[in-house]
Amino acid sequence: MRINKFLAEQGVASRRGADGIIAEGRVTINGKVAKAGDDVGAADDVALDGKLLSHKVKYEYYILNKPKGCVCTANDEKTERPRKTVMDFLPKGAGRVFPVGRLDYDTEGLLILTNDGELAYRLTAPQNEIPKIYLVKVQGSVTPVQLNRLRSGVEIERGVVTKKCRVNVVETNKSYTKLHVTLTEGKNREIRKMFEVVGKPIDFLKRIKLGDLTLSGLDRGACRRLSQEEIFYLKNL
C-alpha cells in the first residue's frame, strides 16, 4: 500500500494532505524518513512525528450541516486568533477524522467527515463526477444570458474554465434570486468566482445535496454518524 494511502486510512489527512506531510519529513518507515511513492506492509513500522501508527483502522463516518463562520480544517494555524473549525461540531467521543473536500468560511451545508481515505478519494476525484447541489442567493434578477454563461462554463482564473453545469432558478422577485447549481468538480471557491464573472456576487451559499444524500432533519451546526445504508450508498456512487 502506498504511504499516502496508508496515512489517509489512518485519518491523518486526505491523500493530498498526506503527500504534504510526507514532503515535510514528518513520516518514517522502519526508522527511515518516508518518500512519496514508498510502499508499506503489515510488518512495517510507520510513525508520524515520532508516534507509531497502528495498522488496525476503525472507520468512522459523519455528516455535518456546516454553519458559516468556521473553516474546514483540523487546526486553524493561519491566523493569530484561531477560528472555529468543523472539528468543533463533532460529537463527543468521535475519532480522528478529516473533512472530505472543503466549504469556505462563509459557505454552509453538507460536509462529510471520515477517516476512510478510499471513500474520500472516491467522492472528490474529478473523474468520478459526483454531483453536488448548492443553493445560491444573489441580489436582483439573473438574466438568460447570465444563466447560459454559467451553464456553459466561464473562465474564473486565467486559463481555468469551469465545466458545463446545471443552473436552475428556484425563486425570483425584484429583491433577490435563488438558484440551484449542480457541480461535478470542486475548484477553490468555484461557485463564488463563477457568479462574480457574470456580475452577480453571492449573498448566500449552501451545499444541500451530495448525490442523493441530503441534510434532511439536520439543523445548522448539527452532526451525526452516517447510517450503514448511507455509507453503502456513498461507497457505490
Residues identified as active-site: 104
Decide: 162 and 194 in contact? Cβ < 8 Å. yes
Q: Which three cell numbers stand for residue 197?
A: 464573472
Q: What is the DSSP letter of 42?
A: T
The dihedral formed by the CA atoms of 139, 142, 148 and 152, expressed in degrees to the nearest 10 = 0
Quote the Cα angle for 118-121-124, to 5°.
150
Alpha helices in the chain (DSSP H): 3-9, 15-23, 117-124, 144-152, 190-197, 228-235
Q: What is the DSSP letter of 57?
A: -
Q: Closest by alpha carbon to 37, among 1, 63, 73? A: 1
Q: What is the distance between the alpha carbons of residues 75 and 66, in angstroms, rounded to a whole number?
A: 16
Decide: 26 and 46 in contact? Cβ < 8 Å. no
